[in-house]
Amino acid sequence: MHTGNIAKLAEKAEICKVLIFPGMKIALVQLNYRIGDFDGNIVKITEFIERARREGAELAVFSELSVTGYYPQDLLERQEFIAAAQAATEKIAGHCHGIAALVGAPVLNEGERGKKLYNAALYLADGKVKDLFCKSLLPTYDVFDEYRHFEPNKSFHLLEAGGEKIAVTICEDLWDEQPVQYEFGKDKLYQCSPMEELAKLQPGLIVNLSASPFSVDQEAWRKEILTRKARQYGLPLVYVNQTGAQAELIFDGGSLFIGPDGKILREMAYFREDFLIIDTACSQEATFQPGAGKIGKMEQALLLGIRDYFAKTGFQRATLGLSGGIDSAVVAVLAVRALGPENVRVLLMPSRYSSSHSVDDAVTLAQNLGIRYDNIPIQASVDSIYRDMAPLFGDLPHDITEENVQARIRGVLLMALSNKFGCLLLNTSNKSECAVGYGTLYGDMNGSLAVLGDLYKTEVYALARWINRHEEIIPHHSIIKPPSAELRPGQKDSDSLPEYPILDDILYQYIELNFSPEEIAASGFDLPLVNKVIRMVNLNEYKRFQAAPILRVSAKAFGFGRRIPLVARF
């Protein structure tokens, strides 16, 4: 396959000479925006328009909804937000002299019917808005809900600029034929193809303004779609994606210039801002980004997610509970790499059930990372609550209630530290635990951001080994010991859960692939076990509804990309 050849080229960092169709000099501007920060976004966009002009570009292309940041959600229902977006667009247009630009912004629907807004690409030239192109295909699956706010475009025309006829498209407009998915009906989601309509007008170039969020498989799907479209219509294709994180959504960039034969000619950086001018009138060298692999890309995405969440909310410092286990260890490492050791502070909170090696592992990790740690044993607080509740509990045996008291005391201590010192609490739960409800509300589920909430336990272990690939940062014992919440004597996760490789395989097929219990069992699992796991997933929807926002790195994360009724019996 062509995509396989691309991967090989990327791995070997090969460079080859290619011939590009005649045309114009275009700047691909891949930036990190902040939602609703109109002043900041204006400065960022206009600085790069000026740079593109200085370097001789005729057209600068930015990403989808670049003026507002993607995705503004119900801010789009506020009149003053739309007015601010319009004013910002006009200010940006004022810088477009001697150069033109394509920027993304919401625009009012002046018609008598339909939604009040379009998701548009605006062509700015000669100091004003000269033309606009509206998005036709409005995704309403997974994390997308664009039809809630926007009217779909139904009329098509080309942009004529620099002697070139350009088909301007916005993100999903090139995804009318989805790659083969496992979701029911996803591969035939749309009834029309914007590019088929635009192709009738005989363009010489396709430009796509995009806001395509990261998932571990998205890069391959994206390249498959874009290279196929360029090849199908025999046209070069400019694709500009945004980078940066907006809470749960992480955008990886990876903007592309693709030749009319479907070969990728230029590939821009991933997980950071980048700028590139292509001269379509000259022969150029094709360049690719080095491959990172699944776990490496996950790490880059999570680091960007943490860094931007703090920067865009105005916080600098983080805290978390360090238990000596694998999940808190990985979160601590990521927090330090994203924020710096001076901005991370952790608490060790052992109980009578905490093993000495767990405390030792936590101390070793904190020392390896150069972060401040404090040790606050919780047993006296636990015993105090047990005494206070004894008249109510009577002779009832100890059960999960007493275990949860320990987790909730730890949650109280962490939130006290967070409040007193202005540190955001990072949640350390993984996707496997979130799925089956293996977590305590108002205890270990506390936090402002769930860093590992979209990584299965087996992926957390893989990430830990990746972190340790050059030197031992996470103590080896934290990686090899049987996972345990240490809330009762000799407790192991496997006491109540299948071993994680088995559990994660079942969960992946149920959550990501949307397989039925019978389909999952057919892949080699006992149907009663499959039904037990699925029952646990379904019963714990109420917990996930109250969980911290999760950094999305898979195709189906918990949160607003997976909406299940709280009271369903199905």
Residue 197, C-beta contacts closer than 8 angstroms, at least 6 positions apart: 156
Cα separation, 263 vs 18, whole angstroms:
10
259 and 265 Cβ atoms separated by less than 8 Å: yes
Clarify whether 64 is annotated catalytic.
Answer: yes
- Return the structure tokens found at 274: 């980048």
Helix and strand counts by DSSP (H, E) for the chain: 17, 21
The SS3 of residue 56 is coil
Nearest Cα to Cα of residue 415 among 44, 267, 407: 407
- Return the structure tokens found at 253: 């960039």
Tell me which long-range contacts 216-219 makes (C-beta under 8 A, separation of at least 24). Answer: 216/294, 216/297, 216/298, 216/553, 216/554, 216/555, 217/555, 218/252, 218/555, 219/252, 219/254, 219/270, 219/297
Measured CA distances, 58 to 26, 42, 161, 277, 457 (Å): 6, 20, 9, 10, 49
Taking CA 67 as the corner, what is the angle to CA 25 and CA 246, rounded to the nearest 5 degrees?
Answer: 110
Cα 162 off chain centre by: 36
Clarify whether 171 is annotated catalytic.
Answer: yes
How many C-alpha atoms does 408 have within 13 Å on its Cβ side? 12
Residues in the chain: 570
288 and 9 Cβ atoms separated by less than 8 Å: yes
Phi, psi of 352 (to 5 degrees): -65, -20
DSSP code per residue over 490-529: T--GGGTS--HHHHHHHHHHHHTS---HHHHHTTT--HHH
Percent helix, strand and coil across the chain, each rounded to 5? Answer: 40, 20, 40
Of 25, 44, 135, 312, which residue is the catalytic one?
Answer: 135
Q: What is the DSSP letter of 59?
A: E
Of 171, 223, 423, 457, which residue is the catalytic one?
Answer: 171
Of 25, 44, 58, 64, which residue is the catalytic one?
Answer: 64
Residue 331, C-beta contacts closer than 8 angstroms, at least 6 positions apart: 320, 426, 428, 451, 452
- Return the structure tokens found at 14: 């090969």
Residue 213, C-beta contacts closer than 8 angstroms, at least 6 positions apart: 143, 249, 250, 251, 252, 552
52 and 29 Cβ atoms separated by less than 8 Å: yes
Cα separation, 20 vs 22, whole angstroms:
6
Taking every pair of Cα atoms in the chain, the longest distance, rounded to a whole number of angstroms, is 86
Clarify whether 188 is annotated catalytic.
Answer: no
Terminal CA-CA length for the chain: 41
233 and 201 Cβ atoms separated by less than 8 Å: no
Active site residue ranges: 64, 135, 171
